[in-house]
Amino acid sequence: MIIGTGIDLLEIERISQIDKRQPKLASRVLTEREMAAVPVKEPRRTEYIASRYAVKEAASKAFGTGIGASLGFHDIEIRKDQLGKPCLDVTKEAVARCFPAEDPTRLRFHVSISHSKQFVVAQVIVERT
């Protein structure tokens, strides 16, 4: 049963401009493991940061909280499975804050990311199994 869905669309150039003005943007949004995987060269660097930002925003919408007191950027981590599919890891504390009535072992997070030269779009679905 789907208990939450969220989508986010953003302009990659917007993230590029913010990253130039605020050099700490990446470390504010990305976890340590995500930071370790940031590509060095453009445009891949900005695409990577923008895609993670979009997934985290989509997740916050699917959780019904937005980014704030209940859910922070570092509570969410995007990784790839063995086939390269994006997966969402959420801290146990954030799951408990956002879904207090749910058994966390029964929650599944589905992620989709796509981008063009101009835009990145991300969708997150929260499912109770």
- Produce one character per residue of 47-58: b if its CB has 16 or more CB atoms within 10 Å, e if not: bbbbbbbbbbbb
* Residue 103: Cβ within 10 Å count: 10
The pLDDT of residue 23 is above 90: no
Q: Is 110 designated active site?
A: no
State in Å, rounded, how far the first CA of the chain is from the last one.
7
> What average pLDDT does range 119-124 have in this prediction?
98
The pLDDT of residue 38 is above 90: yes
Given the residues 20, 61, 80, 117, the one annotated as active site: 61
Q: Which residues pair with 125 in a beta bridge?
A: 5, 110
Residue with tokens 């953003």: 10
Q: Is 92 designated active site?
A: no
**Cα dihedral: 49, 53, 55, 59 (round 10):** 160
